[in-house]
Amino acid sequence: MKLVILGGGFGGLRLARKLSNKAGFDITLIDRFNYHQFQPLFYQVATAGLDASNISFPLRKVFQKSRNVRFRMADVQSIDAAAKKVITNTGDYAYDALVIATGADTNFFGNEMLKENAFPMKSTVEALQLRHRLLHNFEDALHTASDLEMQRLMNVVVVGAGPTGVELSGAIADMKRFVLPKDYPELDFSKMKIYLLEGSGKTLAAMSEKSARQSQAYLEKLGVNVLTNTLLKEYDGKTVYLQDGNTIETSMLIWAAGIKGNVPPGIKPEMIARGNRIRVNRYCQVNGSENIYAVGDVAYMEEPAYPAGHPQVAPVAMQMADLVAKNLQSNTMKKDFVYNDKGSMATVGRNLAVVDMPRPKLHFGGFLAWMIWMGLHLMLILGVKNRFFVFCNWLYNYVTYDQNLRLIFKEFDRESKR
């Protein structure tokens, strides 16, 4: 079977590894990057806690010992279902079976001004860009004489109080407490305000009521201004305009309020569900097709426990990939997908996190939850080297109350070198 997998994220990589060196499969894994990105730790790259290389792993290295998996770095241009081929900028790839695991990207909900001025964080590159701007703002603040401009440069607004928004707000608050005053003694950090805006009535809305209350209390303890039931209207790069008429001055707005599926061209419009996700059946097959599958964030599946689709999280993608791997290898009746929710967690700051477990129904908060969060994420990172360096960075940061990756890389100026 010629199997083409689009995307080297949690779902695509899991499927390729499950079928690596399995007889009867000739696998091509296609991604626009040549590395796997560990998305749960993007926020630590953005706040100078980890180096980008520590949460990225070369896809070719994963399959160095594989006899049947080949990686190709390419941009997918379209899927030709009739001809059974994927068209990319580097050539065409024929398939017997196709698995779409292209993940999700930032959803700005059609707001072009917001898209132009806000900072998303859905890739390693975007996390580095965010770090660059965050640090550069404090460098610029040293040279401004305007109180208004000073406020804009020092204020940070995060929109969306899901796990990404909560973790990012807490990490920036820790920077404000422990790091930035030592780096910039000339600046008065009592004037720096961190805002977390959320349209619903609580933070971490997908988690338990106790986690929601606890996470908000932790954030407020760290000095984050949590504004629930607050909707953003517009952002022009300098001022945040809220639906209630209030404004916040800032040159740094981080958008963590929505995602949408990365659907490749060639998928019929009637197959697209809410959130730009591809409709699939309980076997992860794209509706109306027997040889095209979709897994992870880009897939929309309804099952009794999840009538509005599954949460767009890594465990769903990996469990879908496991099911597809089993079904592709099986000659017997295919199994339906049933998501096994093993729990959810979010870290808020130093020694602060929340963990929910459904079976048995347990909740952890504070230092114990923080240790559980760190241990699990450390195990999930690809590569012994990456785990070692991440652990060393975390240990160094914890002991010294400091981070050592506050680097601002300037773009190479070709003209100045001529």
pLDDT at 333: 63
pLDDT at 418: 35
Of residues 126, 149, 167, 234, which has the active-site annotation? 167
Q: Tell me whether residue 303 is one of the annotated catalytic residues.
A: no
pLDDT values of the chain reduced to their tens digit, one per residue, 418 residues: 999 999 999 999 999 999 999 999 999 999 999 999 999 999 999 999 999 999 999 999 999 999 999 999 999 999 999 999 999 999 999 999 999 999 999 999 999 999 999 999 999 999 999 999 999 999 999 999 999 999 999 999 999 999 999 999 999 999 999 999 999 999 999 999 999 999 999 999 999 999 999 999 999 999 999 999 999 999 999 999 999 999 999 999 999 998 999 999 999 999 999 999 999 999 999 998 999 999 999 999 999 999 999 999 999 999 999 999 999 998 676 789 999 999 999 999 999 999 999 988 999 999 999 999 999 999 999 888 889 999 999 998 898 888 777 888 765 344 433 3
Q: How far is 84 from 87, CA to CA, in rounded Å?
A: 10
Q: Are 292 and 204 in contact (CB under 8 A)?
A: no
Q: What is the largest CA-CA distance in the chain?
A: 73
Which fold does the domain 112-257 belong to in CATH? FAD/NAD(P)-binding domain (3.50.50)
pLDDT at 417: 36
User: Domain residue spans in the chain?
Assistant: 2-41+55-106+259-329, 112-257
2-41+55-106+259-329 CATH pick, 3.30.360.10, 3.40.50.620, 3.50.50.60, 3.30.1180.10: 3.50.50.60
- The helix (H) or strand (E) run that includes residue 135 is helix 124-141
Q: What is the pTM of this model?
A: 0.92
Cα-Cα-Cα-Cα dihedral sign, residues 300, 381, 374, 106: negative
Q: What angle do CA 294, 299, 303 make, to 5 degrees?
A: 110
